[in-house]
Amino acid sequence: MPTSWFFDVRVALAFLTRLPLGPAQALPPNGLAAAMRAFPLAGAVVGGMAGLVHWSTHGLLGPVIAALLAVAAAVWLTGGLHEDGLADTADGFGGRGDRLARLAVMRDSRIGTYGALALMLTLALRVAALAVLAPGTPAVAALVAAGALSRAVMPLTMRLLPPARADGLAFSAGKPRPQTVLAAVVVALAAALFGLGLTGGLLAALASLIVVMALNRATERHLGGFTGDTLGAQQQVVEVAVLLAAVAAG
């Protein structure tokens, strides 16, 4: 049975953030996959709250500290969910062995050299991009666009690739329907165009598409399909790409 947008937004926020939303309702069959149309809206909320931190601290503390605090706020709001996926994916891709060996590395809770380097580089790029962007509306808009576009790629990848494992949350979530993916992409593109303007929005969307195509190809080659970790890694790299596109668009 189709669910409302309000229900799907609540599910998306409960799944992607640590916001105190109270007891969750039971999901219908394939409910998480259906709710993925609202993933960009949850990302926009995270971006908007991080943008508020940036806006409120920039004048008092300067661009670098404001950028650091904004990124820290986004990490706290999500509980480091996507950062954890990025680190695990980098360790898996960087390691040796066959598909099963790489998947085993990704399930290891310990962080390796590749994971640490990936985290440092992406965090540094996010902070640097925000430090360059003008405070106020430009920075907030860039964070909202980055949050929305980077969550819209999740259902897209889940539609395009098979799951790498026959267990785990990524497998049990189900495959999003084409209309779910289309809704997520339209919502994210609208957020990017509204916040960054025509040139900036299209540049951000193009950067997101290039990143998704490249990472999907690497994911399929290394693992044979996606995992929850690779979806988190994709979110992080797309977010960086959108913020850099916002800087480039001026």
Give the whole-number percent of the chain exceeding pLDDT 70: 96
224-240 pLDDT, tens per residue? 999 999 999 999 999 99
72-92 pLDDT, tens per residue? 999 999 999 999 999 999 999
Structural domain total, the chain? 1
Q: Give every CB contact of residue 166 below 8 A, 6+ residues apart in sequence.
A: none
Decide if 7 is inside a domain. Answer: no
Which spans in the chain are helix H?
5-16, 31-35, 39-61, 63-78, 81-94, 99-107, 113-132, 137-160, 169-172, 178-223, 228-249
Full-model pTM: 0.94
Decide if 25 is inside a domain. Answer: no
Residue 226: strand pairing partners? 163
pLDDT of residue 29: 66
Decide if 84 is inside a domain. Answer: yes
Decide if 215 is inside a domain. Answer: yes
Decide if 118 is inside a domain. Answer: yes
Decide if 77 is inside a domain. Answer: yes
Asked if pLDDT for residue 38 goes beyond 70, the answer is: yes
Decide if 11 is inside a domain. Answer: no
Q: What are phi and psi of 150, to 5 degrees?
A: -70, -20
170 compared with 88, residue with greater pLDDT: 88
- Sorting pLDDT into bands at 50, 70 and 90, what band is 30? confident
Asked if pLDDT for residue 1 goes beyond 60, the answer is: no
Decide if 28 is inside a domain. Answer: no
Residue-number span of the structural domain to which 232 is assigned: 37-249
